[in-house]
Structure 1
Amino acid sequence: MATGSVISISEILKNSNFAVLKDIKTSTVEFCDEKTGRTVSKAKLEISMEKYKAINEGVARANLTKIDGGINCDNNGKS
């Protein structure tokens, strides 16, 4: 159920240039079901991503323009 959400979120991050896909791993995990006492296998999905390097610069620029009532720091502090 959560697999679709994880894939959707990773695609949104990648397509919006917020993150870069590093690796995708799939495996199965076995655990004991408490109700039945049986061993159950479930799928495991691991998506490794790295923050896009230009994000910090873009966020910093956007925050500078919002500081002090909208003073634009790109114009040396002149509104």
Structure 2
Amino acid sequence: MAAGSLISISEILKNNNYAVLKNIKTSTVEVCNETTGRLVSKAKLKISMEKSKEFDEVIARGNLKKVNGGINLDTNGI
């Protein structure tokens, strides 16, 4: 369940030019099952990303849209 969320979030960051994918690692870890007390193997996923070169520009554009969203820039009637 958490792996799907991790993948979705990383794809959103990548597709919107917020971040760049650096590395993906998979492994298994042994976890103690609380109800039975037995060890269970679970998948572990690590996605490493870094801020994109366009990050500041993308954020600035997003903030500009928010500011201009409430202002009517049409001057045809003036």
TM normalised by structure 2 equals: 0.69
By how many angstroms is 1:23 displaced? 0.2
By how many angstroms is 1:62 displaced? 6.2
2:31 matched to 1:54?
Answer: no
DSSP 3-state at the match of 2:35? coil
Which gives a bigger RCO, structure 1 or 2 (Cα 8 Å, sep 6+)? 2
By how many angstroms is 1:53 displaced? 2.1
Query: Residue 61 and residue 12 in structure 1: after superposition, are their counterparts in 2 closer, same or farther (change >3 A)?
Result: closer
Task: Report % sequence identity.
Answer: 71
Give me the whole-angstrom Cα distance separating, in 2, the residues matched to 1:62 and 1:12.
15
Partner of 2:14: 14
Amino acid in structure 2 at the alignment position of 1:29: V
By how many angstroms is 1:2 displaced? 1.5
Structure 1 unaligned regions, length at least 5:
71-79
C-alpha distance after superposition, 1:11-53 (max 9, x if no partner): 1111111100000000001021122110111000110000112
Contact kept, 8 Å, 2:28 with 2:43, in 1: the verdict is yes
DSSP 3-state at the match of 2:53? coil
Length, aligned pairs only: 69
Structure 2 unaligned regions, length at least 5:
72-78
Give me the whole-angstrom Cα distance separating, in 1, the residues matched to 2:12 and 2:63.
22
Give the number of the structure whose residues are more often helix, by fraction.
1
Partner of 2:43: 43
2:25 matched to 1:25?
Answer: yes
